Amino acid sequence: MTTSNACTLSEALLKYAQAVDSFKFFFTTAIKDTKSEFASFPHAVQLLNNADPLGEVIEQISKDRLTTLVTDEATLVKSLPHLQGLQGHPIVINVDLSLQDYSVIPFFKDLSIPILISSNEKIFDVNAQRSLDIASKCLRPVLHFINFKNLKHKVEADVKPTQLAEEPADLDALDLGSKFDIISTSKTPTTAVINYSACDFSSVLPNDTSLVQINVYRPWSIQDLLTALPNSIKKVVVAQSATQKSEQNGFEPLLLDFFQDFDSLIEKGIDQVIISNIGLVTDLSAVLGEIISNVNSKEPNLSLFVGEQVKEKETIEELSSLKNVLDLENAYMKVIRQLFTSNSNFLNEYTSETVQQNNPEYGYGLFLNQNKRREELVALARRSLDPSLYGTTDAVSFVQLLGKWVSYHDQSLDESALKEANVVSQQVFEFLQKHGDSKKASEFLQLGSDEESYVFKSTWLVGSDAWSYDLGNSGVHQVLSGKKNINVLLIDSEPFEHRKETQQRKKDVGLYAMNFGHVYVASVAVYSSYSQLLTAFIEASRYNGPSIVLAYLPYHSERDTPLEILKETKKAVGSGYWPLFRYDPSKEDDEAFVLDSSVIRRELQTFLDRENRLTLLSKKYPDFSRNLVQSASDKVTKKQERRAKQAYEQLLEGLSGPPLHVYFASDGGNAASLAKRLSNRAAARGLKATCQSMDEIDLEDLPGEENVIFITSTAGQGEFPQDGKGFWDALKGSTGMDLGSLKFSVFGLGDSLYWPRKEDKHYYNRPSRELFKKLEILAAKAIVPLGQGDDQDADGYQTAYGPWEEELWEALGVSGANVADEPKPWTNEDMKINSDFLRGTIVPGLEDESTGTIHAHDQQLTKFHGCYMQDDRDVRDVRKAQGMEPYYAFMARIRLPGGKANPEQWLILDRLSNESGNGTMKLTTRATFQLHGIVKRNLKHTIRGMNSTLMDTLAACGDVNRNVMLSAIPHNAKIHQQISDFGYKVSEYFLPNTTAYHEIWLNGVDDRDYDPNWPSIFENRKDGPTKKKTKVSGGALVDVEPLYGPTYLPRKFKVNIAVPPYNDVDVWSSDVGLVTIVDPETQEVTGYNMYVGGGMGTTHNNKKTYPRTGSLFGYLPVSDVIKAIEGVMIVQRDNGDRNDRKHGRLKYTIDDMGVDIYKSKVEEHMGRKFEPGRPFEIKDNHDYFGWVKDETGMNHFTAFIENGRVEDTVELPQKTGMKKVAQLMQKHGSGHFRLTGNQHVVICDIKDEHLDEVKKVLHKYKLDNTDFSPLRLHSASCVGLPTCGLAMAESERYLPELISKVEDILEELGLRHDSVVMRMTGCPNGCARPWLGEVALIGKAPETYNLMLGGGYYGQRINKLYRASVKEEEILEILKDLFKRWSQEREEGEHFGDFLIRVGVIAPTLEGKYFHDDIPEETV
């Protein structure tokens, strides 16, 4: 420490406060006469702890100057309601932990304010600078907790002049350095002590232990902490300084931070996390030993308190008791008692055995009686403000005191004001007692004979949710309508999952109270947000009028653990069943309602809408607008609306025909479309037809629905689709229902070969068969027999459906009706040609805030714009049960020719993934980026953000040429540059010409743009999406698609470019595959061998569909290749199947036409012949990991990103690491990224002088770890569940787990270092190109896969079905036997797929159209 910068703690705080030219400095003290080192500072402003100091600070803060406040923890707790008002202002609040009570700090954890903790001089030096950086650069408040008592020596304060930023920086972009300091006494410690105390345990740390000092508490990430801990850690104990022993059975607010992610704790192998509290101690070694011994015991003491409790100060008792709030029914009352100590007054206890006292009317009556006496006392005081009435020498001062006592009755009193008022009350009563012989004093004492008659209280009525069943008779109405200054605490203990089991219906007390217009209302949950809870109680008590606090504490029994209550609370708050909010009608409209959670119920939404606050809230709370949630009453409302609509339609239609209700259950849409078509045909025949999903059925009404038709598809292993499960479960469990008056029929959609094994045959059309049988058991009468459509029939399900429908019309007596021809269903071709060149109704769909989805036609059109609409299938059932629509979100895919991205592009995607997506980035099997989890309102902002760095999403999906993929070849810069330039030309040449993309996403300004220059970037871009329409004859400006035409292509079109001997792009898998031919002498690309007709997508058991590898057309020089690709595309455009999308890919067109004919048409378009293919050699189709230097001296590192998911996990914090690498590239002004077709990334063009710095980052974030088995390194998976709508089984989330088990088999057989290409997809559409894997698993149903074997090692041969519908146990058993044979019988250098074919385990697939041939019987 240099002498010049060494100073006292107070001097250091003053130095940092003056680092900015414009500053303001405040400090608080208990009384004015308190001596403070800050008092001598000429610019310091002294405030009193009990005089609302934060309120005064808020009055004087400014965005243009740095504000500093020094206070203590007790004062800060009282000021909780003010803290949110500091947002957006540069202010540092330095908090003296004068009580040595660290357990206070979590009170502030939910306020989105950075929190730093300094327990010694070294940490203070760092945190003081951090505080200044955050406040000055991010323009936001900072809480800096400092243990003043521990900082006895001088500190370092090398403070540099600082400027306030003009615009706030993102806190995530600020390098805060290490948030934790870790000391370990061995390489493999098993116990971690998280030091959250005033004690320095570093010198007494025993063996086998790690000590973690928390320096930055917010922003908090359990992942960061777990990543920092050694992998050997099994037990975690938090050593927390406290003043008193906890009464919470080991669970405190701080533990909520550790239980953010239970899965991560389990993955880390941590089996115990507890808190031990520390009081006054002297022997640190003994204290630490006791704490460590306890956490490692079989049954640790969850409430361990080591040391002496602190009792000498009232403040300490108050503050430490604030933590003891998590006991079940008493939790909330404890908070009130501890906030207001002796100044709280409970008029009743709802746990009382006396029913009368449990009633709010009893408590309110008691309050009115007390209030009447107080009003009489106040009236007397107002008449007695004349000193001559008392006849004493101190009468003047008493009258002044009495006047002050009277004035308090007209004020809003918070906790500190209550204390001040009661000091006056005590003095008033003491005077009256002293002079009780005077007539006036005696008059006072007759009305109020004890001190309690004069004191001020925070008065509370406490009750349970039983009050909410009848608000009128329970007395709640009288309390709220009385306009008296009284507070109501209503505790709801009903678990979320029991909400539908109760026979009685609760009233929404909060909504009821808000409608009065003069009642303060708050909805809180201690296990969700402790800070919000404290704020609500303080605000409620301060409010001068009636207030009601609705408090949630769900439990099944008194034996419930805190974790069980925590989970129940998270469900309720997250679903909107229990929204967190505060409503203060005394505030301005824009401040009256504060939403503390992102989901609310429909009734509350309606109230806010009526009060004109809904739009304001949507802007103020971004997550709110996407989470419009139905309440429990919506089902009833919906049913009433449906009945009313049917009655109205019946009135209009008269009684001309019988009713027909058509219900469907559909996952893929076929059953829904068929049901709607049947309903339309019924209406055309004079029937009163309705069509709805099965989840709309009210089982109670089913007996009265005269004619009912059920149409259901088959999901999974013979299961009902998602929207039919609820109905089927209810019907299946019904035994006493009589459906004797119901006439019905059922039609099912299935695939008789989907489950080809004999033992699985019963899965075929099982939902329709079981439904038909159950309805017959319940005495319903069949109109016509069960109909079963089979995808294997010539016309699919239509083969059986046609006769079944005719029979239905015959049975209903309407077969001879004269019916006009119905319009044909809209196809994708109709959507495209009527879309106005890909516009559709996308814009109004995006603007519709009532739903997270868009129109079905627009869902197809947005694919051309690079976006797929999806929903999170993990929570689909839960949201449906909660009355919510599916959690719709979009996937946005980049068009990234050649897979090349600069650091700015990486960083914008990193930011967008955090702010608009699900926090991860996906590297795809076509060497580009995808962001997932983008809700509708964020979609435009996300696409604009991508385009701000010259990346667009146009044509990343859809029936057009998609992303051009090419070999990464980091070792050869010259060749890569040539193919990269060529790939870029191909991408630009075949880019759609429509201006719809620019018009919808990029045109004009947007207030969410990060930079006001974004519009000019879009307008000045020379390539990319077309900005201006084409002028045609007559001067009209129109969109023109010279290559595609208005209907674009029949299906998607892909181009891959490989450079032998590498086939990391699977060149034979795409519509056009180009094999680069290079002059070995000059390293110039002379031309390409062109392969045409590759494609991967299929449908399970549909033999009309198959994967195919490309056919060789021949060689062309570089100059002729684009013209040849154009010819291939035009032949496909004009000849591809536009009637059946499953037959629309180029691979079917080329097989239908014949390779020679197709080739000749392309040659005709080119005006030349293909040359014979040039010789080349391919050795593999995987990536090579690690460092390589190219011929120019640049360094490149290929990093392993498992399945392409860039994220931060406990073991691999790769997302943060890649961000750091991108920032280094920016700093050095060199470097870029290349994505590979195997979902990995190459860090490119690193100069020698920057190599060490980059290597350090790679090592720190474990990106340099390539020590994986070849099986894992060469594996690939699609996204699969939960976001892909086509997935039938897990893939990305499951493959790593399965590979670990296969690795064990290979290890056992001595094959761990042998390479096998293994791939997995959640469905047969083939996104991870599974059909080329030596081993592949294709999802068929949950946990069920088709096992494919025999693919070519370097992607040259398609595999074949070996076993259908197998689960993990069978998969491992099969592979173990085959790997064992391979290890014993293989020839030198023979790959696994080749071996299986040579020994006859599987037959080779020589052409795609023979994919389904030569499959042995035992396969199915």
**Active site positions, annotated:** 893, 962, 1052, 1054, 1278, 1284, 1323, 1327
Rounded CA-CA distance 335/526 in Å is 10
What's the DSSP call for residue 309?
A: P
Element (DSSP H or E) covering residue 182: strand 180-184
Q: How far is CA 94 from each of CA 26, 106, 155, 359, rounded to the nearest angstrom?
A: 10, 16, 15, 46
Per the structure block, which two tokens stand in for 911? 């930011």
Burial class (CB in 10 A: 0-12, 13-18, 19+), 1089: buried
Rounded CA-CA distance 1420/1417 in Å is 6
Per the structure block, which two tokens stand in for 170? 């993102």
Nearest residue to 827 via CA among 1141, 1215, 1231: 1141
Rounded CA-CA distance 453/382 in Å is 16
Rounded CA-CA distance 647/248 in Å is 57
Per the structure block, which two tokens stand in for 1395? 């071996």
Name, in order, each residue with C-beta under 8 angstroms of 167's C-beta and a sequence gap of 6 or more: none
Residue pair 716/1288 in contact (Cβ under 8 Å)? The answer is yes
Rounded CA-CA distance 939/867 in Å is 9
Classify 1063 as helix, strand or coil.
coil
Q: Where are the alpha helices (DSSP H) in 968-1071?
A: 973-989, 996-997, 1014-1020
Residue pair 1360/1415 in contact (Cβ under 8 Å)? The answer is yes
Q: How far is CA 1155 from each of CA 564, 1089, 1093, 1160, rounded to the nearest angstrom?
A: 65, 16, 9, 9
- Order of strands across the sheet with 272-278? 180-184, 209-214, 191-196, 235-241, 272-278, 305-306
Rounded CA-CA distance 1210/1281 in Å is 22
Rounded CA-CA distance 76/531 in Å is 12
Element (DSSP H or E) covering residue 142: strand 141-146
Residue pair 210/233 in contact (Cβ under 8 Å)? The answer is yes
Give the distance from CA 729 to its chain's centroid.
30
Q: Is the omega angle on the peptide bond into residue 1282 within 30 degrees of 0, that is, cis?
A: yes
Name, in order, each residue with C-beta under 8 angstroms of 964's C-beta and a sequence gap of 6 or more: 897, 898, 983, 984, 986, 987, 1055, 1056, 1057
Residue pair 1135/1049 in contact (Cβ under 8 Å)? The answer is no
For strands 66-72 and 44-48, give the pairing.
Answer: unpaired
SS3 for 496-560, per residue?
HHHCCCCCCCCCCHHHHHHCCCCCEEEEEECCCCHHHHHHHHHHHHHCCCCEEEEEECCCCCCCC
What number of residues does the chain have?
Answer: 1420
Rounded CA-CA distance 894/962 in Å is 10
Which amino acid, one-letter code, is at 607? F
Half-sphere exposure of 1164 (CA within 13 A, CB side): 8
Classify 180 as helix, strand or coil.
strand
